[in-house]
């Protein structure tokens, strides 16, 4: 079954995640969410009935509780769009690694703000030095993404017309959508 995205809002109507329409429908059946909008073009079918798939749901959490993601390698790669933070190349699995901007040996920590996606050759060139010492420049300043940005990024290939329209409506401003598109995708 093809999965479609459902926008998930918290109690204050702020976007916190993107679920599959199937998962959202299950929450609807279990009375664990409030459905604010349905798809007009996507349905779920039981033997006897069709149900419009949830497009926007609201769940009883507050986003600050939701956004406690600690960085994993994969999450850092996703944040950085699988590009080396120094040379900008899009990397394959066999040439991708993580760079501590401030090296571990100098007290640099495993934190969003100190980790970037890096190719193996830039990583070797930098060695145990800071970017300044190595004469290398970061193409962006690493920062902690919101849980919503991570979640949305996972769905980027399956964003459909109805979902992108609703995203413009529920994100604080359209500029924010553009920001995500430019910096994140």
The residues binding Zn ion (CB under 5 A) are: 84, 86-87, 119, 122
Buried b (16+ CB within 10 A) or exposed e, 133-171: eeebeeeeebeebbbbbbbbbebeeeeeebbeebbeeeb
CB of 9 to Zn ion, least distance (A): 38
* Cβ contact 172:148 at 8 Å: no
Nearer to Zn ion, 122 or 171 (CB): 122
Backbone angles phi, psi at 6, to 5 degrees: -125, 130
Residue with tokens 């109690």: 11
Residue 1, CA distances (Å) to 20, 42, 43, 151, 163 in order: 11, 12, 12, 20, 18
CB of 129 to Zn ion, least distance (A): 15
Nearer to Zn ion, 9 or 122 (CB): 122
Nearer to Zn ion, 84 or 101 (CB): 84
Task: Give the CA angle between residues 73, 79, 80 to the nearest 5°.
Answer: 90
CB of 172 to Zn ion, least distance (A): 34
Nearer to Zn ion, 66 or 86 (CB): 86
CB of 83 to Zn ion, least distance (A): 9
Helix (H, G, I), strand (E, B) or coil at 34: strand
Distance CA 168, CA 158 (A): 16
CB of 3 to Zn ion, least distance (A): 33
Nearer to Zn ion, 17 or 119 (CB): 119
């Amino acid at each position: 079954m093809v999965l479609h995205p459902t926008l998930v809002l918290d109690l204050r109507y702020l976007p916190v995640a993107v679920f599959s329409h199937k998962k959202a429908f299950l929450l609807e059946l279990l009375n664990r969410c409030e459905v604010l909008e349905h798809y007009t073009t996507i349905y779920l079918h039981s033997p006897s009935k069709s149900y419009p798939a949830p497009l926007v749901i609201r769940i009883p959490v507050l986003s600050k509780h939701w956004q406690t993601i600690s960085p994993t390698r994969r999450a850092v790669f996703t944040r950085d769009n699988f590009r080396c933070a120094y040379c900008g190349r899009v990397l394959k699995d066999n040439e991708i690694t993580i760079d501590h901007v401030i090296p571990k040996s100098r007290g640099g920590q495993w934190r969003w703000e100190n980790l970037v996606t890096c190719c193996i050759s830039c990583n070797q060139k930098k060695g145990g030095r800071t970017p300044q010492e190595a004469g290398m420049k970061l193409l962006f300043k690493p920062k902690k993404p919101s849980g919503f940005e991570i979640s949305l990024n996972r769905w980027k290939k399956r964003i459909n017309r109805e979902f992108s329209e609703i995203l413009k409506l529920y994100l604080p401003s359209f500029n924010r959508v553009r920001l995500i598109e430019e910096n994140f995708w």
